[in-house]
């Protein structure tokens, strides 16, 4: 018999300025806007992935503590999953962090983890992109935004008094 409860949280980020997490225990997730990293910025995507993990832990901290209090088990294991292998390896300490801002984010994550109960174990795991629910949430949001833009563009052609360019009428 297992002597611990498990809380699984998926985290993902989009370079366009959104981070997402999904808690499998509560079946709830969140998409949060953050300031996007500039295009082609070195380490920008990895920074966003680390921020997604930070917010996933921070936003679920109360739930984790509540789950520990309610659990009949002695320990709780929180499995944080990301589809970024590099980010997971950096949080595990198996890969060097070469960017000072990323080191600061990892340090803040470390302080957040240090404040958790001693009966809580945090595990960082890699999972395939297609199985990351947070990533699927971000993809769905991106598709909806694209559909909205297409609707706005197509509705501008339907406006009264608007005529398509003459060249399109002659074709």
- Crossing angle (nearest 10°) for helices 100-114 and 85-92: 60
Summary mean pLDDT of the chain: 86
Residue closest to 82 by CA, chosen among 23, 13, 158, 32:
13
- Mean pLDDT, residues 47-62 taken together: 95
Topology adopted by domain 4-144:
Nucleotidyltransferase; domain 5 (3.30.420)
Residue 40 has pLDDT above 70, yes or no: no
- Residues with Cβ < 8 Å from 158, sequence gap 6 or more? none
Domain range list for the chain: 4-144
Residue 140 has pLDDT above 70, yes or no: yes
Confidence band of 100 (pLDDT split at 50, 70, 90): very high
Could you tell me how many residues make up the chain?
Answer: 171
- Mean pLDDT, residues 146-171 taken together: 68
Residue 165 has pLDDT above 80, yes or no: no
- Comparing 168 with 93, the larger pLDDT belongs to 93
Give pTM, 2 decimals.
0.81
């Amino acid at each position: 018999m297992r002597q611990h409860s498990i809380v699984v949280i998926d985290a993902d980020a989009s370079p366009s300025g959104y981070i997402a997490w999904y808690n499998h225990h509560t079946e709830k997730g969140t998409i949060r806007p953050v300031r996007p990293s500039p295009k082609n910025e070195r380490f920008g995507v990895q920074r966003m992935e680390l921020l997604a993990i930070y917010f996933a832990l921070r936003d679920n901290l109360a739930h984790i503590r509540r789950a520990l209090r309610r659990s009949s088990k002695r320990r709780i294991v929180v499995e944080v999953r990301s589809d970024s292998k590099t980010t997971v390896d950096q949080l595990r300490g198996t890969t060097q962090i070469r960017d000072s801002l990323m080191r600061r984010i990892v340090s803040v994550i470390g302080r957040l983890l240090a404040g958790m109960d001693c009966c809580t174990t945090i595990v960082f795991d890699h999972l395939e992109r297609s199985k990351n629910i947070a990533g699927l949430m971000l993809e769905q949001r991106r598709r909806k935004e694209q559909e909205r833009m297409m609707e706005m563009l197509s509705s501008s052609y339907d406006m009264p008094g608007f005529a398509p360019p003459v060249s399109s009428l002659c074709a």
